[in-house]
């Protein structure tokens, strides 16, 4: 093999290794990741943040697959709720309050229920969808459909 | 001795093999001693083995159950799934009836030519409550819900019932007086109280099996435009309603059936539709229809909702036949020669006004970086089958002799508004307080056959929302009217506090 070809191959290998390392770093699990989950038995594939946003703003009452869905929030003013509002709903707290107050008058919309531990609620709710930080997550209890890292870009 | 004896490898090999050898030897002897047909011992052995297997299965099942119980206990431990807590928390998933609503308080000051026709109409400086609406809603099941809205008014108290026509005898000016005597205490003759108006704005049951299919029965707000869907003063930017709402070119609410739904063709794209079938319009439409024709409507609406840009547009088409009638009772003279069996009392239903109306309403809304651009346009064609006999007031407006007999011709109504607003980027200074200056332009032609009644309206104001529940508005409005009414038009100043709760 010629030396030039060898150099090109080595450079290619090094670049691939660096890319893999970078990708590995980006996908590293963080305790601040928000995990969006459904009941263990729900046959829901991966969903988009836009669909989750529509469900939690009650713009839609069904999954795109067709099944009914009941959104369950983390408690108001909790860290998980604030993070979810910023990363998924793209709203400030007062904007969310305005949204529900206006929606109530327009269409009789009520905000989703809140639970101290959404994991607990979704464990019991067949058609529920909830979220929590990865640090609060318990393996094997629910079915994760979306991961939203702290930078807001879903995985 | 045995303890000290160390066996060599050969004797170890014999020691390991000897049970095998012994089994062979004793087995051969036993086999040789038992007759070939005697299977009793073998059967006993099989039974013993079966019993052993059954007992082992039972033990296995018991262990599995114990394991499942342990797993559940573990989950309960990890998740804190205490049954008592779950009972309490489960209650919060149950649906209760919600009661909420809104009201508004207004102050209006007007300026106009005192010697113009407006002198008879315009308000003096007034403070008043113009709305107090209560909502009731409940999500009874996953797919069944109801929403009711009651509006309480002081009106029609004070509303003008009829005008006195100069020179025409028998005409009197009258206001509607909604005062009634105290029915509990008839002796209190001078005591009366206001029996204010009450309106069922909407009351409907909705069945929602899918996002794309919702079936609603009852009285509902007509799904047209932006203003009629917003419906409540706290949601309006301006202090006054646009003229296309005031003139009710499209019925604001209907009684009947509505099928509506939403599709999601792409992410962040929403396509809504609605079909309406109702009694239509008429003097008694909320209770019963005066003709066989039903009001038919169809709505299409598209919305693109991106992070900083929202565009939506829709249209609603509506057709209806409106009938107004009267009941006439008469007596036939009973002469000595007439048949006594003949009915002497008769009653007839007489149509006073019958017309078809064709309405098209369109709306457009654009929001980007705090800027709001909103517009609505309504076109209505009224085609008479039984034209209305014009009253003296209308004749005067048409420049005719008030004593002439004339009927209303077919006519066209048009109205439009454009609203431009900007939500000031003051969140870093004012936090959640939203401050939105706005400007609105309106044009309306109520009846194209009338020489007056057209108007141009210019409004400017400030909308401040200090909390999700309170909206404060200050507005100046100028209405340019036909010269026959007032060359200088009329100026309004509104102060409004709209509260939702």
pLDDT for A140: 83
Candidate from A24-28, B193-197, B310-314 with smallest mean pLDDT: A24-28
The Cβ of residue A28 has, within 10 Å, a number of other Cβ atoms equal to: 9
Sequence-separated (6 or more) residues with CB below 8 Å from residue B33 = none
Q: What is the pLDDT of residues B282-311, one digit of tens each?
A: 888 877 777 888 899 999 999 999 878 999
Per-residue pLDDT of chain A (155 residues; tens, 9 = 90+): 555 666 666 666 555 555 444 444 445 678 889 999 999 888 888 899 999 999 999 999 999 888 889 999 998 889 999 999 999 999 999 999 999 999 999 988 889 988 888 888 888 888 899 999 998 888 888 999 999 988 766 55
Is residue B194 predicted with pLDDT exceeding 70? no
CB contact under 8 A, B432 and A113: no
Cβ-defined contact of B89 to A121 (cutoff 8 Å): yes
Output the pLDDT for position B292. 82
Which residues pair with residue B366 across a beta bridge? Answer: B311, B373
Which residues in chain B (157-186) have CB-CB distances under 8 A to chain A? none
Q: Which of A67, A65, A64 is nearest to A51 (CA)?
A: A64
B468: pLDDT strictly greater than 80: yes
Sign of the Cα torsion B138, B140, B146, B148 reads negative
Query: What digits encode the pLDDT tens for the residues B78-135?
Result: 555 554 444 444 444 556 788 999 999 988 888 877 666 666 655 566 766 678 999 9
Phi, psi of B288 (to 5 degrees): -155, 160
- A98 contacts in B (CB within 8 Å)? 434, 465, 468
Asked whether the predicted pLDDT for residue B6 surpasses 60, the reply is no
Q: Which among B466, B444, B442 is positioned nearest to B454, based on CA atoms? A: B444
Average pLDDT over all residues of chain B: 81
Query: Which residues 39-98 in chain A show a CB within 8 A of chain B?
Result: 48, 50-51, 54, 59-62, 64, 66, 68, 70, 90, 92-94, 97-98
Whether B231 sits inside 8 A of A107 (CB atoms) is: no
List, for residues B30-73, the tens digit of each pLDDT value.
444 555 567 788 888 899 999 999 999 999 998 888 888 777 76
Rounded CA-CA distance B390/B398 in Å is: 10
Span B152-169, average pLDDT: 76
Contact residues on chain B for A51, CB-CB shorter than 8 A:
267
pLDDT at position B396: 65
Report yes or no for ipTM above 0.85. no
Give the per-residue pLDDT at A59.
93
User: Which residue, among B74, B76, B81, would best test binding to A if mutated, counting the most A CBs under 10 Å from its CB?
Assistant: B81
Decide if B267 and A51 are in contact by the 8 Å CB cutoff: yes
Residue to mutate among B93, B206, B270, with most A CBs inside 10 A, is B93
**Cα–Cα dist A126/A3, whole Å:** 63
pLDDT of B21 > 80? The answer is no
> In this complex, do B89 and A105 lie within 8 Å of one another by their Cβ atoms?
no
- Residue B349's pLDDT is 82
d(CA A80, CA A29): 16
10 Å CB burial of residue B190 (0-12, 13-18, 19+) is exposed
Work out the average pLDDT over B455-474: 95
| Cβ separation B100–A104 shorter than 8 A | yes
Q: Are B476 and B497 in contact (CB under 8 A)?
A: no
Q: What's the pLDDT at A21?
A: 45
At residue B31, the pLDDT reads: 47
Given a cut of 50, whether residue B168 has pLDDT beyond it is yes
- pLDDT score recorded for residue B32: 47
Enumerate residues 94 to 153 of chain A having a beta carbon within 8 A of any beta carbon in chain B: 94, 97-98, 100-102, 104-108, 110, 113, 115-117, 119-121, 123-125, 127, 138, 141
Residue B337: per-residue pLDDT: 60
3-class DSSP state of B188: coil
> Is residue B367 over pLDDT 50?
yes
What is this structure's pTM? Answer: 0.75
Interface test with A, best of B224, B267, B365 (most A CBs within 10 A): B267
Using pLDDT thresholds of 50, 70 and 90, give the confidence band for residue B394: low
What is the mean pLDDT of the segment spanning B388-406?
69
Note the pLDDT of residue A64.
85
Nearest to B232 among A92, A100, A105 (CB): A105
């Amino acid at each position: 093999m010629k030396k030039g070809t060898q150099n090109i191959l080595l450079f290619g290998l090094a670049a691939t290794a660096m890319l893999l390392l970078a990708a590995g770093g980006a996908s590293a699990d963080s305790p601040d990741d928000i995990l969006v989950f459904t009941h263990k038995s729900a046959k829901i594939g991966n969903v988009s943040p836009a669909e989750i946003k529509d469900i939690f703003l009650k713009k839609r009452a069904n999954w795109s697959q067709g099944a009914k869905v009941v959104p369950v929030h983390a408690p108001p003013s909790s860290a998980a709720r604030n993070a979810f509002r910023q990363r998924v709903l793209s709203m400030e707290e007062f904007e969310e309050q305005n949204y529900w107050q206006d929606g109530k008058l327009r269409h009789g919309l009520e905000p989703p229920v809140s639970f101290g531990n959404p994991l607990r609620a979704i464990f019991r709710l067949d058609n529920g969808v909830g979220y929590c930080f990865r640090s609060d997550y318990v393996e094997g209890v629910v079915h994760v459909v979306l991961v939203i890292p702290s930078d807001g870009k879903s995985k | 001795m045995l303890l000290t004896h160390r066996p060599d490898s050969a004797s170890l090999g014999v020691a390991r093999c000897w049970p095998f050898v012994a089994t062979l030897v004793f087995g051969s002897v036993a086999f040789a001693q038992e007759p070939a047909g005697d299977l009793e011992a073998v059967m006993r052995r099989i039974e013993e083995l079966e019993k052993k297997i059954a007992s082992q299965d039972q033990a296995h099942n018991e262990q599995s159950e114990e394991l499942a119980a342990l797993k559940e206990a573990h989950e309960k431990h990890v998740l804190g799934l205490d049954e008592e807590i779950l009972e309490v928390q489960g209650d919060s998933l149950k649906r209760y009836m919600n009661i909420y609503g809104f009201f508004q308080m207004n102050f209006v000051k007007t300026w106009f030519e005192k010697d113009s026709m407006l002198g008879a109409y315009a308000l003096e400086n007034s403070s008043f409550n113009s709305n107090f609406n209560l909502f009731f809603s409940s999500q009874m099941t996953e797919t069944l819900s109801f929403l009711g809205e009651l509006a309480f008014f002081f009106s029609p108290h004070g509303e003008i019932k009829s005008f006195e026509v100069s020179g025409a005898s028998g005409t009197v000016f009258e206001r509607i007086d909604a005062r009634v005597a105290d029915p509990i205490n008839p002796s209190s003759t001078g005591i009366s109280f206001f029996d204010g108006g009450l309106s069922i704005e909407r009351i409907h049951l909705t069945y929602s099996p899918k996002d794309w299919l919702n079936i609603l029965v009852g009285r509902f707000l007509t799904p047209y435009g932006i203003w009629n869907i917003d419906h409540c003063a706290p949601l309006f930017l301006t202090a006054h309603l646009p003229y296309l709402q005031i003139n009710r070119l499209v019925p604001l609410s209907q009684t009947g059936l509505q099928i509506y739904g939403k599709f999601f063709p792409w992410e962040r794209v929403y396509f809504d539709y609605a079909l309406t079938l109702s009694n239509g319009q008429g003097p008694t439409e909320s209770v019963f229809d005066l003709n066989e024709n039903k009001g038919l409507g169809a709505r299409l609406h598209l919305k693109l909702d991106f992070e900083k840009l929202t565009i939506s547009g829709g249209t609603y088409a509506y057709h209806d036949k409106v009938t107004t009638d009267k009941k006439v009772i008469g007596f036939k003279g009973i002469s000595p020669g007439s048949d006594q069996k003949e009915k002497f009392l008769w009653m007839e239903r007489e149509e006073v006004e019958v017309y078809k109306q064709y309405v098209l309403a369109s709306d457009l809304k654009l929001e980007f970086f705090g800027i709001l651009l909103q517009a609505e346009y309504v076109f209505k064609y009224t085609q008479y089958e039984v034209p209305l006999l014009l009253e003296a007031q209308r004749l005067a407006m048409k420049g005719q002799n008030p004593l002439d007999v004339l009927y209303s011709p077919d006519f066209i109504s048009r109205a439009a508004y454009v609203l431009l607003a900007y939500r000031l980027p003051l969140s870093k200074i004012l936090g959640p307080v939203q401050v939105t200056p706005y400007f609105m332009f309106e044009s309306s032609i109520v009846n194209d056959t009338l020489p007056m009644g057209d108007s141009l309206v210019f409004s400017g104001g400030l909308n401040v929302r200090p909390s999700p529940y309170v909206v404060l508005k200050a507005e100046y409005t100028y209405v340019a009217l036909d010269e026959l009414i007032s060359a200088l038009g009329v100026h309004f100043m509104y102060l409004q506090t709209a509260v939702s709760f």
